[in-house]
Amino acid sequence: MNFPKLFQPIKLGTMEVPNRFVVPAMGTNLANPDGTISEDLIAYWETRAKGGWGLLTVEVTAVDSLGKAIPNQPGLWDDQFIEGFSNLAKAVKKHDAKIAVQLHHAGRQTTSTTIGDQPVAPSPLKCPICNEIPRELSREEIYALIDSYATAAYRAKMAGIDAVEIHGAHGYLIAQFMSPHSNKRVDEFGGTFENRMRFPKEIAKNIRRKVGSGFPVIFRLSADERVADGLTVQESRAAAKIMEQAGVDAIHVSKGVYETMQYIVAPSDVGPGYILPDAGEIKKSTNLPVIGVGRINTPYMADDAITRNQADLLSWGRQSLTDPELPNKLASGKTDEVAPCIACNQGCIGYIFDPDKLQISCLVNPFCGSEREMEINNAPEQKHVVIIGAGPGGLKAAWILAERGHQVTVFESRSKPGGQMELGAFPPGRQEITKFINYYWHMALKNGVTFRFNTEATVQDIVDENPDSIILATGGKPLIPENISGINQEHVVTALDILMGKITPESRVLIIGGGLIGSETADFLAMKGHKVTLCEQEAEIATDIHEAVKYFLIQRLHENQVDIKTGTKIIEIQKDKVIASINGERHELSGHETIVLAAGTVSNNQLGPELSNKVNNIHVIGDASDPRKAIDAIEEGARVALNI
């Protein structure tokens, strides 16, 4: 067997985990609104249990109704929740996996809208992200919460859950007590390190008294909070020792708080395995098994972490969203079929906090979060499906259709697959995008898809194929804002032209549009030494990018002295200057030799109307239907492919 260390069993207390693969607790928002376990949540977890994961940790389970961080969060603050957790435990354990429940209270890292009341915390200091001043907990309330954790753990045990994890990481309530950054109390729960550790220590001891000695308890902490006066690795080593003495059976090492979200769910700007050195330091201070996490996305890295004594088990987090079958694929030698997590943060953390989504998904794996309704089954009869466009949506559709047994032909005007998504790999920190494009292509070829590259498909080409169904995945093209006078001059180009290498801009560049494309093009050009001015008519740039991704982008833009002008509407482009309205006042911006348009995208779907009276069963997906993000195109491609 490949990677034998990863498939060795290990004991956490009295519980034997069959291998070293852990799915950590990640909010899914798939529970019912009242906190009970939904069928969707059971399907989500059972899919990963089937995939061979050894330990599955059910997400952020609230020990108190005022401790929720997201609306549809599981709860264990009442006996009514036991039945649902029992059903979940049975679904997971029938696949020989172990299941833990993470006990959680958000403290100040929530909102009154989410919980229906004022958030609570050790001290009345607001979380800069949630931006609400919490109410300081009284001593009586603190002791009541300690009991709430223990009672929730007991309910988990009664439901047939194998273990619990105390969530002391990521700036939630327990971490708020532990950290001098958020704890300014002067009683026995604040001040000295020992006092700040009293809350988690008493929780662990109370849980142990309640559940007995044979029930494993894991403690999760952020070894380095990356904030001023926050926990550091040195202090966290001492914290791990205290929790070991309090009776926990394993330490799960993470990083960051809400203010430093870029280190909790690090984007591709941060290297794989970035928390493993911290885990290794914690491991030196405790005799307990240590669980490592932090962009663990290859078995080689995981195996090496065990070899180097940095961790005993590995949490694969977002990688488990991307590929729920990863352990089974590795066990059977199908390493080439492992889907890559590209750390884009779009469907995972991005969707969880997006008020228009509020449900976990994954750009690479659109089945994530929809396991109950989306499933690949053999087609009742083979059909010939022609797809125009080998971008991410077209590739995903092609692969699924072929896997279901259909004959699939893909026309692509360029010499390789990926569409505009491939160009998205050019800006700094985005090189991993090519991994999932290559993976989609590999799986499509493996399932027998025929590709015709360098072919601009005509209506006649398509009709000659005699297709049963057609998928138009022709993408979009740059929006040319005709309301800007002088837009058609020679020195005005599109961001797409630059990223494709069609145009080499002069040294001084002005970019119109500060969304994802404009901001990343500015990043790309500034890193190459261009002097860049980035103009955005809204009050902020890059609002369509998750904060954890945006952090490093903004950092580079400032480091490379990009001149960011918000509240700026371009009115006219002249040969030697640009006329703009900046916060309602007329300004002249001069000295720019190349003007770059990144003002949006329009659909590229000329074939649709021409085909409509010649063939039946036409499906239009992605930007060809309505300009959005790649994650939308991929999901649409998958759903269409499942229904042909």
**Catalytic amino acids?**
172
Judge contact between 250 and 12, C-beta under 8 A: yes
CA distance 624 to 360: 25
At residue 50, the 3 state secondary structure works out as helix
Q: What tokens appear for 419 in the block?
A: 């569409």
Distance (Å, whole) CA 292 – CA 262: 17
SS3 category, 640: helix
Cα–Cα distance for residue pair 490/471, rounded to 1 Å:
36
Locate 145 and state its tokens.
């919460």
How many CA within 13 A on the CB side of residue 36?
10
What backbone torsions phi and psi does residue 112 show, to the nearest 5 degrees? Answer: -65, -30
φ, ψ for residue 326, nearest 5 deg: -55, -50
Q: Could you give phi then psi for residue 151, rounded to 5 degrees?
A: -65, -40
How many Cβ atoms from other residues are within 10 Å of residue 333's Cβ?
10
Task: Report the distance separating Cα 389 and Cα 413, nearest Å.
Answer: 7
Inter-residue contact 276 to 304 (CB < 8 Å): no
Two tokens, residue 544: 């369509």
> Which residues pair with residue 441 across a beta bridge?
none
Q: Give CA–CA dist 218/532, Å, rounded.
A: 49
Pairing of strands 98-104, 163-168: parallel
Other residues' Cβ atoms within 10 Å of the Cβ of residue 572: 13
Using CB atoms within 10 A of its CB, is residue 479 exposed (0-12), middle (13-18) or buried (19+)? middle
Count CA atoms closer than 13 A to 309's CA, side-chain side. 8
